[in-house]
Structures are given as structure tokens and as C-alpha cells.
Amino acid sequence: MPIYEYRCDSCGFQKEHLQKMSDETLTVCPSCNANSYQKLLSAAGFQLKGTGWYATDFKGGGSAPAKSEPAATPAGCGGACACHPG
């Protein structure tokens, strides 16, 4: 069952309600009994499980990233130039 978040426009009371998708939308505020209780639009909370692109491409446990080799010193540079910081 999804969790819906509601807020009262009159008193500002806010609460989450566990409801069936087929249940009527709540309209009466449980705090002040005003008829201004409205369902809020919020982000869906779900988690991808099982196999698929997420589990195989982005989860940990894969091979370690390749190590980069140190840059070679250009000929005539000597290592004391702007291309070799301090």
C-alpha cells in the first residue's frame, strides 16, 4: 500500500497516511477538522532489486580501476618547469 502525505491549508498540520490506491482522498484535517486537508505531491520511494543494468553495471564488487602511470618528463625539461608542479 502506498503512503500518501497530506497537509492542512488552514492549520498547517502535516501527516503521512497509509492508504489503498482505491481509497477516497482525505479532505478533513484530523487536527482542526477543517475541510482543507490536501494530498501533497512527493517523490516516490522505491528501490530497484534483482539483476539488471543497475546491479551489473554500477554496484560494487567489480574490478578495480586501472592505475595511471606517472607522466614522463619531456626532453630538455629537467622537471623544474610549469608542467611539473612543486
What is the domain extent for residue 27?
1-43
Could you tell me if residue 6 is inside a domain? yes
Could you tell me if residue 78 is inside a domain? no
What are the pLDDT digits (tens) for 9-38? Answer: 999 999 999 999 899 999 999 999 999 999
What are the pLDDT digits (tens) for 43-75? Answer: 766 666 766 665 555 556 555 555 655 556 556
Could you tell me if residue 50 is inside a domain? no
Could you tell me if residue 10 is inside a domain? yes
Q: Residues of the chain with pLDDT > 70: what percent?
A: 50
Could you tell me if residue 14 is inside a domain? yes
pLDDT tier, 42 (very low <50, low <70, confident <90, very high otherwise): confident
Q: Which SS3 state, helix, strand or coil, does residue 12 take? A: coil
Domain count, the chain: 1
Alpha helices, DSSP H only, in 1-85?
53-57
Cell output for 25: 482522498
- Pick from 60, 83, 61: nearest CA to 72: 83
Identify the CATH number of the domain in which residue 39 sits.
2.20.28
